[in-house]
Amino acid sequence: MQYTVLARSLAMAGTLSCTLAWHGAARAVEGVWTPQQFPELASKLKQAGLKATSKQLAQLSDPKGDPLGAVVPFGGCTASFVSPKGLLLTNHHCALAALQLNSTPQKSLLRDGFKTGTNNEEVSAGANARIFVLDSVQDVTPRVQAALTAATDPLARIAALDALEKQLVAECETQADYGCRLYSFSGGNRYQLQRSIEIRDLRLVYAPPESIGNFGGETDNWSWPRHTGDFAFYRAYVGKDGKPAPFAIDNVPYQPKRWLKIADKPLGAGDFVMLAGFPGMTNRYAMADDFEANADWTYPTVAAHYRRLAALIEAEGRKSPEVASKYVGTLRGWLGAAKSYESQIESFRRTNAAQAKRSEETGLLEWLRKQGAGGEAALAAHARLVELGQQARAERDRDLVLGQLYATGTLSAATQLYRLAIERDKPDAQRENGYRQRDQGAFENRLKQADRRYDVRMDRQLQNYWLHEYVKLPKEQRVAALDQWLEGDDEKAIKRALDRIGKSRLANPEQRATWLKADRATFEKSKDAGKDGAIQFAVAVMPTMLEMEREIRSRAGETLTVRPVYLKALADYRKGLGQPAYPDANSSLRISYGTVSPYTKDNGAKQLPFTRLEEIAARSSGKPPFDAPPALLDAITAKRFSANLVDKRLGSVPVNFLADLDISGGNSGSPVLDGQGKLAGIAFDSNWESVSASWLFDPALTRTISVDQRYLRWVLQEVFPAPRLLAEMGVPASGK
């Protein structure tokens, strides 16, 4: 598995957002709780509607128990086992990579959908597809803190964390079947080493057509009411001996110890629900400066760039179906992020969030000053965090532009391959994560699969965009090595640069494979490298990239000591107000609970908590993104609804529902459980009013949007039939 603590420390050296949030009486459903916190929540959960015995509540505090042991991280999303034969349920939008990988110019699985009649028809999700089934959790806080304390300066400190993280993971991964990961909680006040079974053979089983799985498209993103069948199925496979293995025809389905049962009681307004998943990051109690930097610069700047870049892809996609297919994931990501950022900005303004953040921080600092000598360390930590944040933001325009330029197709391949050659000169334990021997297979697979998301014409347009942004930077933020390589900052210079990059052999997958074996001298001195514009670029800018990385590491090394002090003081301050704490999201397993809840928009419009089948027909126009397939419309017209799928209160089959659950990025695909711990739905989005929930949770307006399991079953039964999956989940095809 990839390491996370060092990577997060480096990232946070720029953002410095705090990692502690709070749960009080006024926010009854706020919280991304760890399983270990469930004992303290037991009475609240029962009061909210969880029907569980003492033994079952104890199981909830065990991330390997029932039902949490059925929930797994899946490529930035969440998935859950729904049968004893390794069947996994997640979101349709989390299956984009597998759908693209198995599509051809003649057959688009994204457009047409994909279903299988037997296990033999299930197709590989790709060599890098993984899930991790939790096996053990170990507290390693004393070892990490001892290593950090022994370091004498910021760079030594970050190096010590890197070395210890690698050592801990190596000790943990003595068996090939396991992947291990170090997690930091509460800004570095607690560390956990988690060991998981690493399953490496995942296969796509079922995905409805895009006209179901993404009905409403970007128009409906972050919106309610919603009518999207955002679900897909995978299956986990292992070797015949039951141990994890790479893809092989004779592998067999994995048999999980835990899997979810489908709810057998209808979900209604006011009913208890609980969500389990792997949210990536929240910033509920970020420092005021960091909040304002995101609200005033990062979000508006990045959103504007994404809008312009998306327009380029859309224009090229209209001319080339191949480009449209290859960049569908990129396009969705940019448009979704832009809409999210723009909506958050509006939400911040509407709620006067900046003033609230500043007032809260002022209150904390005043409290610390009253502590006398006892508050001095935290006050000093706060002051240093402010200074480090200012340093990180000083050249943020440059960092954004260069980061995006380096990420374009051929330039990304060139810089990664050259960095790999540089890292090979070091002992394996001293190499940067991502370039060690253990990472070689994933590295090669990414290069092999890059063509699935790359087109030379589109790549040139993206490079052209970012080169123009680069030459507009103030002189003090320009990079001398890049200026020298560019040989000017006018249109002619940019065109010459693009022509040089466009001739790079790295656009060819066979050539990329060849350069995988090249050493540093070959990149820097060979004739072939000298003729390759992308490689010349990588060699020219790498010293600057490494120096920028060093600056980030130095700041991160300082934050490793000052952030825990500040956050410990914040915890004490909040506890004095009677508000128990939970650690902010960090991609580890978290649980949220609440109820199926309507809400009222700012304009007074009341939003019901369920949508119905008939509303799909009413919205369907025959044109994307509201082009519901004929089979679905015919089934609605004919009222082919099994009695046990119809909600008597709605008079129809429910499609999507709202709940006041606390989610963030990474929760896509998270199972929503009812009061009996059974699967009631799959989370896939939030309402517009929730876009700022990573920073501010508003219980009156924040809502999670989920696919109702009854709609999923109806699609599998009547629209895009998959009777074997229904039977496997314990639901007969008849729906009876």
Phi and psi at residue 681, in whole multiples of 5°? -175, 180
Task: Give me the DSSP letters along 416-484.
Answer: HHHHHHHHTTS-GGGSPTTSSGGGHHHHHHHHHHGGGG--HHHHHHHHHHHHHHHHTS-GGG--HHHHH
Determine which one of 93, 227, 305, 382 is catalytic: 93
Query: Under DSSP, is residue 547 helix (H, G, I), strand (E, B) or coil?
Result: helix
Q: What is the DSSP letter of 718?
A: I
The answer to whether 93 is a known catalytic residue is yes
Query: Under DSSP, is residue 733 helix (H, G, I), strand (E, B) or coil?
Result: coil
Contacting residues for 405 by C-beta, under 8 A, at least 6 apart: 411, 463, 466, 467, 469, 470
The answer to whether 211 is a known catalytic residue is no
The residue behind tokens 């639901």 is 731
Instruction: Measure CA 567 to chain center.
Output: 25
Determine which one of 504, 664, 668, 694 is catalytic: 668
Laid out side by side, the sheet with 671-673 consists of 590-595, 272-277, 671-673, 679-686, 704-708, 654-659, 610-612
The structure tokens listed for 60 are: 């909830």
Half-sphere exposure of 29 (CA within 13 A, CB side): 26
Instruction: Measure CA 335 to chain center.
Output: 16
Q: b/e string for 562-584 if b means 16 or more Cβ within 10 A?
A: bbbbbbbbbbbbbeeeebebbbb
The answer to whether 668 is a known catalytic residue is yes
Burial label for 617, CB within 10 Å (0-12, 13-18, 19+), is middle
Q: What is the DSSP letter of 262?
A: B
Determine which one of 230, 459, 584, 674 is catalytic: 230
CA distances (Å), origin 541, targets 254, 397, 460, 534: 46, 17, 19, 11
The structure tokens listed for 584 are: 């902010």
Phi and psi at residue 173, in whole multiples of 5°? -100, 40
- Residues 433 and 635: their CA atoms lie apart, in Å, by 52
- Does residue 629 have a cis peptide bond before it, meaning omega lies within 30 degrees of 0? no
Query: Under DSSP, is residue 635 helix (H, G, I), strand (E, B) or coil?
Result: helix
* Active-site residue set: 93, 230, 668
